[in-house]
Amino acid sequence: MRLVLLVTLALSAVYAVNLPPSCIKPVYCNSKLLHHVQMSKIYNDSKTFVDLHMKNDENSTLAAFDELLKETNDNPSEEQIRKFVNEYFDEDSELEAWTPPDYNPEPVFLEGIRDEKLRKFGKNVNDIWPILGRKVKSEVFENPDRFSLIPVNNGFIIPGGRFKELYYWDTYWIIEGLLISGMKDTVKGVIGNLITLLKTLGHVPNGSRWYYQERSQPPLLTAMMSLYIQKTNDFEFLKENINDIEGELKYWLDKQVITFQANRRTHTLLRYYAPSEGPRPESYYEDYNNAQLFDTPEQQRQFYIDIKSAAESGWDFSTRWFMNKEGNNNGNLSTIHTTEIIPVDLNSIFANALQNVAIFHGLLKNPRRASHWAYLATKWRNSIKEILWNKEDGIWYDWDLTNQIHRKYFYPSNLAPLWLDAVDKSFVKINAPRILEWLSKSHSLDYPGGVPTSLFRSGEQWDFPNAWPPLVSVVVNSLEALDTKESLQIAFKVAQSWVRACYTGFTETKQMFEKYDVETPGRVGGGGEYTVQSGFGWSNGVILEFLAKYGGKMTLYDSTDDTLSVNGPEKRVIVKRGSKVESKK
């Protein structure tokens, strides 16, 4: 009861204070113009409008639209809105194509790939980097107030498809792939761009658009810097940016931390929390309509906070964030309660970030600051163990703040403490058999097309039957961290199945996609608010990760007979298809 009271008081405090708009740019975040354009549905994708740039300054654009509202009694037609947008906005891209200077069409890692066809696949994926390379045009720097894009100085790799800007957590796997491709200078520039965004906003935003101002994404900047330093020993770059990197951790400690009671003790961990007014600008129509399901302004406001907080997680959207009155994950977007959940992956990433900064200060010979961050890292790891580890099941689960219970469902994020070394090695050694047993009982690794994001067929894109490349990477690295003969064999098997599945899809379409279907190897995933996107930055990075790591023994086929499925004999394809999957409407 006391915890429920604390949560209630916290929510009351939110309602008592006026929330900020999604950003400081009214045209893109908080205006009658935004509302009318998005609700008119002149574009199928709400992101299209907020990615346009103004032909004139913001004040004159807003004033002109106010005149239109007066002329039409606040009720402009769809055609009038379309005409206004065509007159006052421009759809020309703010970015120009950019080929990274250090791009190498024959990177060294290809030499270590045993299978000829997989070697060719690796080369094809490496060749996508220049296709996704972008640089901000000079006119964005000359007239920054006319764009939703936040300008950054260095070239970068976009995810692909509708995602035409720099994204935060995508960049971790993009950087992994770039480093494997030997593109260290490009990586340095990309990290520099993220630090520019950090300096501009006080945190790294969801993406390099102003309408993402009030939300971040999983804080992987220190992990990116760690990958770069391991490859380059560029301590001068680290020294130049260490204060800003510390600043991001302080942002999370200041804005996202929550103190709560559980098991008769007080604990402090992170949750995703993105409080700002109104719908997400890039999904305005969808959010506004969904908010009409609620009876009161307070409920609508909380819905907007929870929907943005789920977007901050990167898992937009999933049963992982659904919580009905009984506390389980049945429901739909009307039961989203992201801010009432303590996520395993967020806190594991943050524990790793704290440790990374401690290591960075050690490298820079700042022992006092290193000790401070190391202490916090130890404290965070202990809290993860005390709150998120489930002794009975032998796995980590998200924590339900309202009901004070573990959310006992399979998601790849359950393994995140292993992925980023957020758990003591002695603890791992003792519990490795139990973790493997839990995985086996879940049947989550039995699908021919990858590791499912959940075992619930909800229609949301971060649920079954979709497999997302970063989560497959998390699972493989977590299995490796268990460091048993069995776990290492399973890690290789999962990685090989994923490469084979993506090879099948690429052979058929000549494209890499952001997500795939676990039931049919190589088939693109579905669900969610938009059509499947091709490109695709983190998909490329994970393929290169697995090829670089396992290419010496990985094969495309289990047999020398090339007529077989890439997943081997027929019995391999039918194992556990659909097992343990629940349909959720």
Q: Which residues are catalytic?
A: 316, 514
Edge-first strand listing for the sheet containing 156-157: 95-97, 133-136, 156-157
Q: How far is CA 328 from CA 331, 332, 402, in A?
A: 9, 12, 11
Cα–Cα distance measured from residue 208 to residue 152, given in angstroms and rounded to the nearest whole number: 8
Select from 344, 264, 305, 326 the least CA-distant residue to 3.
264
For residue 464, give the nearest of 452, 447, 451 by alpha carbon.
452
CA atoms of 473 and 492, how far apart (whole Å): 11
Q: Write b or e for each residue in 57-83: b if 16 or more Cβ atoms lie within 10 A of its Cβ, otherwise e.
A: ebeebbeebeebeeeeeeebeeeebee
Distance between CA atoms of 134 and 189, rounded to whole angstroms?
12
Tell me how far apart the alpha carbons of residues 187 and 195 are, in angstroms, rounded to a whole number.
12
The DSSP string of 258-281 is EEEEETTEEEEEE------SSS-G
**Paired residues of 51 in beta bridges:** none
| Nearest one of 339, 342, 574, 300 to 449, comparing CA atoms | 574
Q: Which residues contact 465 (CB under 8 A, 6 or more apart)?
A: 447, 449, 452, 457, 517, 518, 519, 525, 581
How far apart CA 254 and CA 476 sit, in angstroms, is: 33
DSSP state at residue 217: -
Radius of gyration of the chain (CA): 24
Sequence-ordered list of residues with C-beta below 8 angstroms from that of 547, at least 6 positions apart, any chain: 109, 113, 118, 121, 122, 499, 554
Half-sphere exposure of 78 (CA within 13 A, CB side): 6
Within 10 Å of residue 1's Cβ, how many Cβ atoms? 5
User: Tokens 């989203």 label which residue?
Assistant: 336
**What is the distance between the alpha carbons of residues 313 and 214, in angstroms, rounded to a whole number?**
13
Is residue 523 a contact partner of residue 516, using CB atoms and an 8 Å limit?
A: yes
Angle between helices 235-255 and 184-201 (to 10 degrees): 40
Asked whether 151 and 144 are in contact (CB, 8 A), the reply is yes
Q: Provide the CA 38 distance to its chain's centre, in angstroms.
A: 25
Element (H, E) at 60: helix 58-71
